């Protein structure tokens, strides 16, 4: 039976406690040294209660990133509607960095672990690319099709470079971080133009093939037949 003076936490409460405990532990030690039992103890949950909301440390990391996504996406960005895409994306990514601010030591720890843990780096890349897709959508940039997937991956790499600057930027105004983000977005803007041109080449070739086929179908006598 559950102690009436200490009722079981709700699912939402258990989820929040587990994420907070995980981030606090990350600030103290590397990801690979954090055990599920450590998180349960730090969160004040039983293993059964923790299992009810999460199945692994990666699952907790995924949930935290989803929470960050929601926090950024829920912000009012109506005043940015007329701004260029680059400025809209700058605003969205700075809001994301602000959302990370409360757990900067945990982010530093996670980044260090990813450098020497390839499986973790791959997982983090996949989670980050998904989040970057949402960030681009929030900035009014399409993520549809293969081009969108490439853009999301490129933005992931860009964001990681900026995050490494932010992680060591102690200026309250984040001057170094903003300069790095502006520089990276300018570079990405140039590469995006090159990417669009490269991706348009197969489309143009396909269009030419279709036009040639239609001409042959319309006038088969024009086709040269070998004797």
Residue 133 domain flag: yes
- State the burial class of residue 99 (Cβ atoms within 10 Å of its Cβ: 0-12, 13-18, 19+): middle
Averaged over 140-168, what is the pLDDT? 93
Q: Which domain holds residue 70?
A: 11-169
Mean pLDDT for the chain overall: 86
Q: Is residue 184 in a domain? A: no
Q: 221: which DSSP letter? A: G
Whether residue 104 is contained in a domain is answered as yes
Q: pLDDT tens for residues 31-76?
A: 999 999 999 999 999 999 999 999 999 999 999 999 999 999 998 8
CATH of the domain at 30: 1.10.357.10
Asked if 72 and 135 count as a contact pair (C-beta separation under 8 A), the reply is yes
How confident is the model over 73-96, as pLDDT tens digits?
998 877 776 788 889 999 999 999
Classify residue 72: in a domain, yes or no.
yes
If one counts every other C-beta atom within 10 angstroms of the C-beta of residue 156, the result is: 20
Distance of CA 166 to the CA centre of its chain: 16
Residue 6 covered by a domain:
no
Q: 177 in a domain, yes or no?
A: no
Phi-psi region of 174 (alpha: psi -120 to 50; beta: other; left: phi over 0): left
Q: Is 219 domain-assigned?
A: no
In a domain, 207, yes or no: no
As separate numbers, helices (DSSP H) first and strands (DSSP E) second, the chain gives: 9, 0
Check whether 151 has a pLDDT greater than 70.
yes
* Counted domains in the chain: 1
Kindly write down the DSSP assignment for every residue of 113-164, as one continuous string.
HHHH-HHHHHHHHHHHHHHHHHHHHHTT----HHHHHHHHHHHHHHHHHHHH
């Amino acid at each position: 039976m559950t102690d009436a003076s200490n009722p079981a936490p709700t699912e939402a409460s258990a989820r929040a406690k587990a994420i907070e405990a995980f981030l606090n532990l990350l600030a103290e030690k590397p990801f690979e040294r954090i055990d599920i039992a450590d998180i349960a103890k730090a969160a004040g949950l039983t293993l059964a209660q923790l299992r009810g909301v999460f199945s692994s440390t990666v699952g907790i990391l995924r949930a935290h990133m989803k929470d960050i996504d929601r926090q950024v996406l829920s912000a009012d960005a109506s005043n940015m509607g007329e701004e260029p895409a680059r400025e809209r994306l700058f605003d969205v990514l700075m809001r994301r960095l602000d959302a990370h601010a409360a757990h900067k030591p945990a982010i530093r720890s996670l980044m260090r672990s990813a450098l020497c843990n390839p499986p973790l780096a791959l997982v983090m890349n996949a989670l980050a690319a998904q989040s970057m897709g949402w960030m681009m959508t929030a900035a009014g940039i399409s993520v549809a099709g293969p081009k969108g997937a490439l853009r999301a991956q490129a933005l992931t790499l860009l964001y990681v470079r900026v995050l490494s600057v932010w992680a060591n930027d102690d200026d309250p105004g984040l001057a170094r971080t903003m300069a790095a983000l502006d520089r990276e977005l300018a570079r990405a803007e140039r590469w995006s133009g090159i990417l669009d041109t490269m991706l348009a080449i197969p489309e143009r070739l396909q269009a030419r093939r279709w036009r040639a086929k239609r001409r042959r179908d319309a006038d088969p006598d024009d086709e040269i037949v070998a004797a």
